[in-house]
Amino acid sequence: MTLYVIRGDNVTAHASPPAEISEGGLVVQSIEDIEASGLSKAELTGIWNALPGATKLTKFKDRKAAAQRLWAVFADLPVEPERVAGSPAPRVGSKQAQVIDLFRRAEGATVAEVMTATGWQPHTVRGIVSGTLKKKLGLTVVSAKEERGRVYRIAAQAVI
């Protein structure tokens, strides 16, 4: 069964329970879990608006409608690969985890945005992309030239 972890307005799908859930993280396994979560309609709208490809909304009619629409879209989210035992994982709240969260957003992140979030120099940002994320963690990082500059995203990966 797929688990969905909600952190703020970011949702990730997991094939197995993640090792750690950051503070403020919420795990849902069903539409009932979303309804019982205690998230406000405004928070549910924020989650919806942050989903890739979602048409932006100002509000949901009610919590039940929000839960139904979110649950239908959650099924299309890419599932995070299971971590191999001994595989390094970023500490919750670390700068590395912040960079991963920035790259997992639908809009991705530029080097300048990562520099602002972490206080790093440009060469450090490029180093974490090629060395840590790609080689050490095995994540697929894709980049594209857009209006705001080169934007990096972590590509969806299938469970092996």
| 95-154 is a CATH 1.10.10 domain | yes
Contact 126, 111 (CB under 8 A): yes
Report how far residue 150's alpha carbon sits from residue 130's, in angstroms, rounded to the nearest whole number.
15
Domain(s) of CATH 1.10.10: residues in the chain: 95-154
Which tops the pLDDT comparison, 130 or 23? 130
Contact 9, 54 (CB under 8 A): no
pTM of the model: 0.50
Cα atoms in the Cβ-side hemisphere of radius 13 Å centred on 148 = 10
**Mean per-residue pLDDT of the chain:** 82
Question: Percentage of the chain with pLDDT > 90?
Answer: 21
**How sure is the predictor about 53, in pLDDT bands with cuts at 50, 70 and 90?**
confident
